[in-house]
Amino acid sequence: MLNFFVGIIVLQVGTAGLCYVFVEWGFTDIRLLLALSFLDMLFVGLIVLWFSSVARQCNFAEMESIRETHAKEREKLRVDAERQKNRFADKKHKEVLRATKTAFAVANIKVGSAFAGMLVLGGIMIYSQLVTFGLLMLTASAGGLAGYMARVKQDVLFPRKNHALQRLPIDYGEKKQNK
């Protein structure tokens, strides 16, 4: 804005100077009036070009600041979206792990119940005079139950680091951008 003020002052001083020259030399000469008018129009044209240049420069600076502000806002939105996406992914991952643990717990109960049922059936067979078949059933089910319990104990005491359910690969459909 200061450039416009300086330009207006220069224009006023120049026009006042031309008017002073015209008044000092007299009002009678039409050629002098035309020459001074042409000189004033030339001076005004130069000032207009100067104002145009200053206005263009101010407009360019304003556009650059707006672009910079928009770029900052866009980056902030990207960061916020990435944070929300990560929170959502972590939440979904925890839900999947919780559901998997629940499914494993239900499966463990079912398998344990099946082995316990086999033990009871083996006991009934021994009691009902089918000793050989009952002992065979008892040893098979007890061995299976012992192996299953050993595996469960091993999973509890020594969790596998690269277990398939520990960290599921999640694809969000992101496209890699070449920069």
pLDDT tens track for 16-68 = 888 888 788 777 778 877 888 888 888 888 888 888 888 898 899 999 999 99
Total structural domains in the chain? 1
Would 27 be classed as within a structural domain?
yes
Neighbouring residues of 51: CB distance < 8 A, sequence distance ≥ 6: 4, 7
pTM given for the model: 0.45
pLDDT given at position 66: 94
Would 179 be classed as within a structural domain?
no
Contact 9, 50 (CB under 8 A): no
Mean pLDDT score of the chain: 79
Would 143 be classed as within a structural domain?
yes
* Domain range enclosing 147: 2-157
Would 51 be classed as within a structural domain?
yes
Neighbouring residues of 160: CB distance < 8 A, sequence distance ≥ 6: 166
pLDDT given at position 179: 44
Would 55 be classed as within a structural domain?
yes
Per DSSP, 27 falls in state: S
Would 163 be classed as within a structural domain?
no
Q: Is the pLDDT of residue 102 over 60?
A: yes
Would 77 be classed as within a structural domain?
yes
Would 168 be classed as within a structural domain?
no
